[in-house]
Amino acid sequence: MTTQMAAAKRGEITEAMRIVAQKENQSPEDIRARVAQGTVVIPANINHQSLSPEGVGQGLKTKINVNLGISKDCANINLELEKVQTAINMKAEAIMDLSNYGKTAEFRSRLINMSTAMIGTVPMYDAIGYLDKKLEDITVEEFLAVVEKHAQDGVDFMTIHAGLNRQTVAHFRKNKRVTNIVSRGGSLLFAWMELNNRENPFYEYFDDLLDICAKYDVTLSLGDGCRPGSLADATDPAQIEELIVLGELTLRAWEKNVQVMIEGPGHVPLNEIQANMLLEKKLCHNAPFYVLGPVVTDIAPGYDHITSAIGGAIAAASGADFLCYVTPAEHLRLPSLEDMKEGIIATKIAAHAADIAKGIPGAADWDLKMSKARQALDWSTMFDLAIDREKAERYRRESSPTHEDSCTMCGEMCPMRLMNKIL
């Protein structure tokens, strides 16, 4: 077998590249060239048979990811699978299974079999439960075995915090943070390193990791273990040092024809977002950038789908390629089905707004059609075009106007109605 990157470097256009080209209204050759360069990835594990491939990266529409999964406190597999189907119906391009308790293999298998969206995981989360061992007792070979199990199952991309090496840890220790290490995978690896007085196993045995990824064509999503968990910690030495290491690892992965995405912050003030995007693209050789939010203020628990949509729109407009959704439940609990829906809509709005700013071909056409429908007071077409038709129709239904062609805000004084009559 071969990876998408290996085929692209040989000049071959794969079926996945053709599908991505059709979805993006671009030529297959342009997609192939960018996959070969590493500026576009097509996460497509050879064992994920139900996948409808998507491209992530330079010149493509901004994609969104939905985080799901079972935990010790919320271990209902059927409820999570209902969320999976809803996320697919809402056209999320990716789903990450962050399960860390119980029947993780069963959930992952059912998820991959039913999902047309690309699937991501964080094997580090699964290692403790899967191996049923204390963290400090897990061996390097066992960590890699968990990675290979996820790859065999058909996972398309994996978050691996390989950049949190001893050098990065030294920068973390020298530069005090308010919220320390907030990445779950990063904190687990840091603890393992401290308890065993050893180097990060995914950094030390990076070539073995690459061999697994190449075998199944798993895209490496190089995780940001030192991402800032508060505005006060944004763009600090530990974050930037890790980014430098991730850039070096990217080149090593490309040598073995393994596709790479880079993960980014986090909590970032508005005025630092653009600089963070520029740093990633420069230091990581224009590899696609996958960001969580970023959340632009720390004071809004219950509303972090909004704080992250603000940051996500700016990040994507400034170069980020892939947005991880954030829900109203962020920092508070595992998201409910309704939380997930709100998070998806908020993130899709951010992604679309950014695509308009980036000049993605056809992005603004949707908005133009909506504007023309509004001018014509064509409510049926407005609902057809709405990003959340259900909510738009419900609001309209709950407040019926006297004049059917207007709404209860302006009524008879509706400017659209008035101008249509006068002109």
pLDDT digits (tens, 9 = 90+) for 396-418: 999 988 878 889 998 888 999 89
* Number of residues assigned to the chain: 423
Res 381: pLDDT: 98
CA distance 217 to 257: 9
224 known member of a binding site: yes
The tokens for 64 are 């969104």
For the chain, the domains span: 4-358, 365-422
CA distance 22 to 288: 20
Q: Is the dihedral of CA 366, 370, 373, 379 positive or negative?
A: positive
331 known member of a binding site: yes
225 known member of a binding site: yes
- Class for domain 4-358, per CATH? alpha beta
Q: Cβ of 197: how many Cβ atoms within 10 Å?
A: 6
Res 1: pLDDT: 61
78 known member of a binding site: no
96 known member of a binding site: yes
290 known member of a binding site: yes
324 known member of a binding site: no
Contact 267, 228 (CB under 8 A): yes
Res 82: pLDDT: 96
Res 372: pLDDT: 97
213 known member of a binding site: no
311 known member of a binding site: no
Where are the extended beta strands (E) located within 198-255?
Answer: 219-222
407 known member of a binding site: yes
Contact 327, 306 (CB under 8 A): no
Percentage of residues in the chain having pLDDT higher than 90: 90
**Pairing status of strand 322-324 against strand 289-292:** parallel
Res 380: pLDDT: 96
pLDDT < 50: residue spans in the chain: none
**Pairing status of strand 40-41 against strand 56-57:** antiparallel
74 known member of a binding site: no
150 known member of a binding site: no
Contact 58, 321 (CB under 8 A): yes
Res 101: pLDDT: 80
Contact 73, 95 (CB under 8 A): no
226 known member of a binding site: yes
130 known member of a binding site: no
The tokens for 380 are 């049926």
